Amino acid sequence: MAALQRGGTQEAIPFCNIKALPITDSMAVVSNASIKRVTNKARNPMNIANEFEESLIEEYQKALVKGETLQPQISSDSSAQAYYFPILTNAMCLQCHGKPGVEVHDVTLENLKTYYPRDNALGYDSNEVRGLWKVILAPKP
């Protein structure tokens, strides 16, 4: 957000390309957790949702359309417990995730193509589910 405020999308895109994953990883270390963003429309291929996560994104979007309050979800398997929190779009998000030529200006679109050649994270409207925060807490010893 600071990069966006300092220099708009022209500064934020290169910053996010280099720093988004390390910042998330550093927060995970501090929290003794695994923290990841996942989505069904990935900008970064490392953030592609699995089948369960895609279905959860769809469920969240349907609930949002119905006007329901979105609640975190918990998924457990034999080895871990994952907590999922929806990521909703707002006006700030749409500068890089909105519709090309409308919210996403041409210069921003060119930067996105440079830094994310396989970008699928465009075309969102405000108040849509753009993805999930996935948090896996490390078991206590």
One-letter identity of residue 58: E
Listed in sequence order, the residues at least 6 apart from 122 whose beta carbon sits closer than 8 Å to its beta carbon are: 41, 97, 98, 99, 100, 104, 112
pTM score above 0.85: no
Confidence grade of residue 48 (pLDDT, cut at 50, 70, 90): very high
- Over residues 62-103, the pLDDT tens digits come to 999 999 999 999 988 767 788 999 999 999 999 999 999 999
Could you count the other beta carbons within 10 Å of the beta carbon of residue 89?
A: 18
pLDDT of residue 24 exceeding 60: no
Give the C-alpha separation, 7 to 100, whole Å: 20
